[in-house]
Every structure is written in C-alpha cells, then in structure tokens.
Amino acid sequence: MASFLPSRPALSRAVVSCGVCAAVSVGTAAGPASADPPVPDPPAPPKSLSALSWEVMDASTGDVLASKAPHRRLPPASTLKTLFALTVLPKLRQDEVHRASYRDLADVAEGSSMVGVDEGQKYTVADLWRGVFLSSGNDAVHTLAHMNGGVSRTVAQMQATARRIGALDTQVRSPDGYDTPGQYSSAHDLALIARKGLENPDFRRYMGTKWARFPAAGGPKAFGIENTNRLLVGSHGVAPYRGLIGVKNGYTSKAGCTLVSAATRDGRTVLVTVMNPRKGDFNAVYEESRKLLDWGARAAPLHARQVAAARRPSTTQQLAAGAPAPAPAPASASGAEPDDASGGLTKHLGAAACR
C-alpha cells in the first residue's frame, strides 16, 4: 500500500492528485487526532445511609448509577401499588363511573390504609386512582381490582407484568402491597416498575398530584385528600424536594418505610428506591432518598458522558470494526448486604406515617 513519503516527490504528486487519497495522506502525516479530555468520575455515593437496600437509576437509559443490595427481596408495602397501577391503569377508562359496593370492600385487610371509599357512593375511575396514589387507599385498590375482574385475576396480571418487564425479584400476593406471606420485591424491581410507569401520562399525573377533592364531583360526602409523600408536598418536618415528580411511598410494620422517588433536573430524571432505613424516625426514608436524589443529579450527567466517551472509537480501525467499548460499571456502596431475603425485619414503628 502506498504511503506518503516526502523523499519521493513523484509518488507525492500522484497521491495528491486523488482527493480521497490526499485526505488520508494528510491525516496520516499530521498524526492521530488529539484525545478528548478525560471525563471526571462521578462523586462517591453517600455513605451515611441505613436502609437495607437502595438503588439510583437514570430513568432515561435504565442505567444503574449506584446501589446497595439492589436485588435483596424485601416486603415492599404500598410501593407495590406502582405495579398495580402499571398493570390496571390501561384497562379502565378514567371517566368511567362506578358505584362502590360491599363486595368491592369486603376483602380489604384489617389495618389497611384507606382513602374512604363509601359503599353506595359513585366514583369515577380517576377518583379511585387519586385515592390510590395520594392516600395509598387499599379500599380504592380493591374497588379497582374488582372492576378489573377480581383480586385474584388482578394479582395474576400484576405477576405477569413484573415478568414481562424483567422485575424478576417480585412475587405478588396482594394488589395493594399489604403484608402477605410470600410477597416481596426489591429496590431494583421497584425502580424498573416506576421507570415503565413514567411512560404512561396517567401514571405520571397521578403520582405527582399533591391535593384533590374526593370525589372530584363534590357533594355532601366529598372531602379533600393530600398526598402522603412528604418529599412531594412538604410536611411533618420534611421539606419538599426541588424537581420531584413522584412516585410512591409505603409503610407496614414488617416492611418498615419504603419510598420510590423520581426527580427531574436539567432535563434528566433520576429514580431512587429506598427500602427500610434502620436508623432515625419516619422521616429517615425521605432524608436518605433526598441524599441519593442529590447525588444522582450530580452523577447522572457524568455517567452519561463516560458512557459516550467509552463507546466513541479512538482509532480509525475501531471505527471500521464498529466494536463499542463496555460502559462504566455502576458505583457500589461499601458494606453492601447479600441479596437474599432477610428474616427479623419486623420493625414496630407505630402509626403508618410513611405509607
């Protein structure tokens, strides 16, 4: 193959006479292009976290940015309602009107959180979804489940949805997330479910609603409801988080406090799941989520730049081969626990303040 050699002018003229060859020769003579400046590493994840399990995910790509025991199977409490919504929301018209019946409410577990569905009262499907997302109402969940063909059918559909999207750590036994033997999920699965839910405009609207009238049509029995997600509305000593768009909080004595959060900054959305903080009070799940959301907002853009740089060919041969380099691995938390199910998680915290 001919090469550009200054000591052979005849060959140089022949090469220059061909525009394409000239471009190659000049590039070769000039040497390789200067390398891009290195992308700084994301900061280290927060260390002062007591949750049994947590994960930070870039919602746009699904990349896991950092985690601790993300596949550890734990009781999800009401965060499992995100899977219920992902499954059932597309099946019912939002303007459909339903008169609540005794049958709808008969199988709601004692001690459940309620929005206040009243037997004989008419509600739209949209009313009931606000009851699910704002008040974590198991009565609203069961009413919608019966409208969907029954609790057993809905549970089977939820399990199928989990398998379809790759949430393989999740076992569904109840549609509302209330403590049931053999029911569990994981921080990773709950992030996957929320990420899929963000694709549904109705899911996004309900998860970010702060206040509503129940039912919205009013009437003598109507009343106001407020979202129990303290990070969204700002209550009980928790400041609202800038850029938060949802998703769902939960609590049972077995699960402790659980929270799935999504926040958008500078056009990038970060998802955070926190399961069962072991230190602090009911607000610990919100403050540990706040730390991870803050970290994710800084880390996600740097991670995206690192991925782009790793996939960018550094030589002409790489460009021709079309072989991308592997993406950077997610950050891991020190002292991560094993991903197996853990006994002795019951934590009697009193009233269901973070449901």
- Residues with a known catalytic role: 78, 81, 136
Distance CA 310, CA 321 (A): 15
Q: Are 251 and 347 in contact (CB under 8 A)?
A: no
The closest of 224, 230, 229, 170 to 196, measured between CA atoms, is: 170
3-state secondary structure the chain: CCCCCCCCHHHHHHHHCCHHHHHHHHHHHHCCCCCCCCCCCCCCCCCCCCEEEEEEEECCCCCEEEEECCCCCECCHHHHHHHHHHHHHHHCCCCCEEECCHHHHCCCCCCCCCCCCCCCCEEEHHHHHHHHHHHCCHHHHHHHHHHCCCHHHHHHHHHHHHHHHCCCCCECCCCCCCCCCCCEECHHHHHHHHHHHCCCHHHHHHHCCCEEEECCCCCCCCEEEECCCHHHHCCCCCCCCCCEEEEEEEEECCCEEEEEEEEEECCEEEEEEEEEECCCCCCHHHHHHHHHHHHHHHHHHHHHHHHHHHHCCCCHHHHHHCCCCCCCCCEECCCCCCCCCCCCCCCCCCCCCCC
Peptide bond into 215 cis (omega under 30): yes
The closest of 249, 257, 277 to 82, measured between CA atoms, is: 249
Distance CA 252, CA 260 (A): 15
